[in-house]
Amino acid sequence: MDDTGHDVLAGVGPRLRDLRRRRGATLDQLAAETALTASTLSRLETGKLRPTLEQLLPLARAHGVPLDDLVQAPPTGDPRIHLRPVRHRGLVFVALTRRGGGVQAFKVVYPPAAASPTTALQTHEGYEWFYVLDGRVRLVLDDTEHLLDPGEVVEFDTGTPHWIGSADDRPAETLALFSLQGEHAHLGRGAPRAGHDG
């Protein structure tokens, strides 16, 4: 392996450790997500073990980052974002950002009101912001209901019991910003990220 390839692989360990710590995951939790042992993960993070493709693929999925981010592949010069819609709990999420940790942007498509998978209020740590792109959105905060039209924006503490969905017989679309806790609440750990083509 040439010096460039060795340098690329040498930088993978610290990136893996940083991604895991930003998610607040332990080695044991990550082992359960990836089917790799905690010992193997520790050796990868400290650079005592050179990563293989078979190890990097489940790690990229668990951390919700493109494989290129783990190895810091050189840029291809193509700035396009590759959007990957994901269905989860009856909703469609399209990740619009690709960095690990912090606030993430998603397009969220809610099914018509009659097809909503649940109307139960939920709470979780963090905050949420969304802008209504299309359709009519029904937002319930505690015991107060808000009907929102395209162009309206809301922001709220997600510690308040809340529910979001379409207000009528059409799908509703929002542009949403989730904190890390909100992302985990909506999509679970290892949520998808947008990626660059190329």
pTM for the model stands at 0.56
Q: Which residues 6+ apart lie within 8 Å of 22 measured at CB?
A: 100, 101, 180
Q: Mean pLDDT over all residues of the chain?
A: 80
Alpha helix stretches (DSSP H) within the chain = 3-10, 12-23, 27-34, 38-46, 53-63, 67-71, 180-187
Token reading at 96: 């619009």
- Whether residue 81 is predicted with pLDDT greater than 70 in this model: the reply is no
Band of residue 140 on the pLDDT scale cut at 50, 70, 90: very high
pLDDT at 54: 84
